Amino acid sequence: MTVESALRGAPPHLLLDSLRVLLARRYAASSADLLLVDYGLTCLRPVEPVQNPAGVRHEPVGAGHAGRVFRTQQPYLFRGDGPTGTAYLPVTVRGDRYGVLVVGLPAERTTPEAAGGLGAAAETLGHALHVADRHTDLYRSTRGAAALGVAGGMQWDVLPGRACAAPEFDLHAHWEPAHASGGHVLDWSVTEGRLQLVVGEGTGPGTPSAQVSTLALTAIRNARRAGLDLVGQASLTDQALYGQYRGRASLPALLLGFDLATGRTEVVDAGSPTVWRTRGSATGRIALDRQLPLGMFEDSVYATQRLRVRPGDRLVFVARGRAEPERAPGGPDEAADGPVARAVALAARLNGADAPEAVVRALREQPRDVPGPVLVLCLDWRGRGVPE
């Protein structure tokens, strides 16, 4: 029996039990435990019950063998002087890091060859977890180091995740506070030739803000799935929000469509978050003509702008919500941009998975800032190597 077939036939809450039976037969594994990262990306928490309580415990992200595997996304084999060893394998789905699989093995079976097979099993487990989340609360409950508020639960249920990977790009996002809602909007869709991306600033904390962002995101997805272009998506969402709130609630958002082959990009900037580009050693803000936020007025008219990303470019999108000062339409705010520019530039040396969290934490630690909700999305662009 393959790992895929074993997990497909298992009840959603018993995925780990089925995997344990298979790994015991195939690798003589004495234990197999799963550590899932919490919503705030601060610690790895074991799915109960654990087989090896002495060796599997809560671990800070980045510390210990499991924490380092989560950060580096590289498997690690630990062989002590005794008769057993341990394999630590990243559990990741299309770039979205779920946690770490910890497998106890006989010392003689703790080999790179075994790590290869176990790594494939961990990847398959990740895909199974993604499906199982629809049918059981076990794994989400494990991730809750602190209870989600109602608004936070709404946000986690509608956002697509933290990451997406494809041959042409890597996407990684991080937002804080993780257990509440800042009302931010984030979504993406990938087809054979196109990446569509939406980033929106929250309207403030709490359930009302989460309701605004949920309505906006649903409208954007419906329009996109119906085949509307970016202008059509913005217009439909604008109408949906205005129809519900009559201008009392609006959403600044950025809608982008990337051609995966050429890097040509269409943008609708509806009073959007700021966008920063690192190209080579230079980091700077991309100047866009800001249009009206979605839902502010009835029948707003939107237009696309064009830019181009090149292989090696990094785009960083920063949504800071309504806690930041209002910016004048169409122009940058140098005072507000300064802390963001410094945070993005410092994070340029980090890999894409770690950069968003570093930017978020730097902004929330600014002494003069109100520590409002922050969302940061990092897009590392490889493209397809098509000549200019």
CATH code of the domain containing 248: 3.60.40.10
> What is the Cα–Cα distance from 18 to 11, expressed in whole angstroms?
9
Q: Which helix (H) or strand (E) holds 364?
A: helix 355-364
Q: What is the mean pLDDT of residues 334-349?
A: 85
Angle, alpha carbons 137-141-146 (nearest 5°): 150
Lowest mean pLDDT among 64-78, 264-278, 315-329, 335-349: 315-329
* Preceding peptide of 49 cis, ω within 30°: yes
Are 215 and 109 in a shared domain?
Answer: no
Task: Give the end of a domain, one of 142, 160, 186.
Answer: 142
For the segment 212-258, what is each residue's pLDDT rounded down to a tens digit? 999 999 999 999 999 999 999 999 999 999 999 999 999 999 999 99
Judged against a pLDDT cut of 70, whether residue 62 lies above it is answered with yes
* Contact (Cβ atoms closer than 8 angstroms) between residue 383 and residue 309: yes
Provide the pLDDT for residue 369: 54
- Residue 207 tokens, joined: 């359930």
Lowest mean pLDDT among 17-26, 48-57, 126-135, 191-200: 48-57
Provide the pLDDT for residue 344: 96
* Contact (Cβ atoms closer than 8 angstroms) between residue 226 and residue 235: no
> What is the Cα–Cα distance from 84 to 177, expressed in whole angstroms?
41
> What is the Cα–Cα distance from 286 to 308, expressed in whole angstroms?
11
Are 17 and 114 in a shared domain?
Answer: yes
Provide the pLDDT for residue 191: 95
Are 136 and 169 in a shared domain?
Answer: no
- Residue 43 tokens, joined: 């610690």
Q: Please, what is the average pLDDT of the chain?
A: 91
pLDDT confidence tier of residue 322, bands split at 50, 70 and 90: low
Are 100 and 196 in a shared domain?
Answer: no
The percent of residues above 70 in pLDDT, for the chain, comes to 94
For the segment 3-16, what is each residue's pLDDT rounded down to a tens digit? 999 999 999 999 99
Provide the pLDDT for residue 326: 44
- Is residue 239, in this structure, part of any structural domain at all? yes
For the segment 147-191, what is each residue's pLDDT rounded down to a tens digit? 788 888 888 889 999 999 999 999 999 998 887 787 899 999 999
Judged against a pLDDT cut of 90, whether residue 377 lies above it is answered with yes
Burial class (CB in 10 A: 0-12, 13-18, 19+), 346: middle
Distance of CA 250 to the CA centre of its chain: 24
- Is residue 387, in this structure, part of any structural domain at all? no
> What is the Cα–Cα distance from 237 to 215, expressed in whole angstroms?
8
For the segment 64-99, what is each residue's pLDDT rounded down to a tens digit? 999 999 999 999 999 888 899 999 999 999 999 999
> What is the Cα–Cα distance from 217 to 212, expressed in whole angstroms?
9
Q: What is the mean pLDDT of residues 44-60?
A: 87
For the segment 279-320, what is each residue's pLDDT rounded down to a tens digit? 999 999 999 999 999 999 998 999 999 999 999 999 999 998
Closest Cα to residue 95, out of 60, 130, 121, 61?
130
pLDDT confidence tier of residue 381, bands split at 50, 70 and 90: very high
Q: Who has greater pLDDT, 108 or 337?
A: 108
Q: What is the pTM of this model?
A: 0.91
Are 307 and 369 in a shared domain?
Answer: yes
CATH of the domain at 19: 3.30.450.40
Are 252 and 188 in a shared domain?
Answer: yes
Closest Cα to residue 308, out of 383, 196, 378, 233?
383
The percent of residues above 90 in pLDDT, for the chain, comes to 76
- Is residue 299, in this structure, part of any structural domain at all? yes
Helix axes 150-158, 207-225, angle to 10 degrees: 10
- Is residue 386, in this structure, part of any structural domain at all? no
Main-chain phi, psi angles of 28, to 5 degrees: 55, 35
- Indicate the number of domains in the chain: 2
Main-chain phi, psi angles of 42, to 5 degrees: -110, -30
Q: What is the mean pLDDT of residues 32-49?
A: 94
> What is the Cα–Cα distance from 194 to 199, expressed in whole angstroms?
17
Provide the pLDDT for residue 329: 47
Bridge partners for 174 per DSSP? 376
Q: What is the mean pLDDT of residues 184-213?
A: 92
pLDDT confidence tier of residue 265, bands split at 50, 70 and 90: very high
Provide the pLDDT for residue 336: 61
Provide the pLDDT for residue 368: 59
Provide the pLDDT for residue 337: 82
Helix (H, G, I), strand (E, B) or coil at 6: helix
pLDDT confidence tier of residue 386, bands split at 50, 70 and 90: low
* AA letter at 250: S
- Is residue 388, in this structure, part of any structural domain at all? no
Are 79 and 196 in a shared domain?
Answer: no
Q: What domain range includes position 172? A: 149-381
Provide the pLDDT for residue 371: 58
* DSSP character string of 61-128: TTSHHHHHHHHH---EEEE-SSSEEEEEEEEEETTEEEEEEEEEEEGGG-SHHHHHHHHHHHHHHHHH
Task: Give the end of a domain, one of 122, 142, 162.
Answer: 142
Are 33 and 76 in a shared domain?
Answer: yes
Are 249 and 357 in a shared domain?
Answer: yes
Task: Give the end of a domain, one of 119, 142, 165.
Answer: 142
> What is the Cα–Cα distance from 388 to 379, expressed in whole angstroms?
20
For the chain, helix (H) and strand (E) counts, in that order, are: 10, 17
Are 196 and 101 in a shared domain?
Answer: no
Burial class (CB in 10 A: 0-12, 13-18, 19+), 161: middle
Are 137 and 155 in a shared domain?
Answer: no
